[in-house]
Structure 1
């Protein structure tokens, strides 16, 4: 019965440590609980058996736990949780497509200093280079920079 309790404690501890490493990394609660159960099994070994057997139990436990740790790193389980893709697109990348400096348009809202204007039958958000511009005023594009349309009247 003593061996059964010892093997159960060490097995449960190792299972919890493997669960922490392989299935729920980062939670640490399961891993710490697994280490405590393993430590309890080693303590039980020192209390229940002679010193030589207890040290052998400690050595085997450390070897198994360390082997589980090495296996988890070599198995590539961390690659499943790591972010490997990056986003290369941005919003409004082609927003200024077809527009050029010098194109004329009309303000469809008051521009103070940001408002709406119509160029080439499409409405764009624009920024005024010359302050307040009233609705209906003819505009000219003066700059196109960083997805911003700079206009003047």
Structure 2
């Protein structure tokens, strides 16, 4: 039987960390797992995801559901976190996307406004890639 557990790659970052969304949230708010995935809406997430790259969080905000403006928040993990196994070693060696996840909440410590926004054409290309991944029977998300 093949072992499908995520590869144990050392966590490379101590922060700062960012989370992208369209939700208007105050400093001090806690972001928690238990909501639908931005990329696979049929999946309720067991983890909250974040990155050490503000532009990566901006892309997540652009792809998030909702009609509000894209927001990137600086966040601090309130508990242990690990490399995101959906991209670490599964798609890229190591963790070049500097993507992480935690079962513990993330605390919003501020909003970032100086990140690079995607063009409407780039956002559409990302949406098309995500849709192709959903159709691909081999595409699985580790939740």
After TM superposition, the score normalised by the length of structure 1 is: 0.25
* TM-score, structure 2 normalization: 0.26
Q: Which has the larger radius of gyration?
A: 1
The one of the two structures with greater contact order (alpha-carbon pairs below 8 A, sep at least 6) is 2
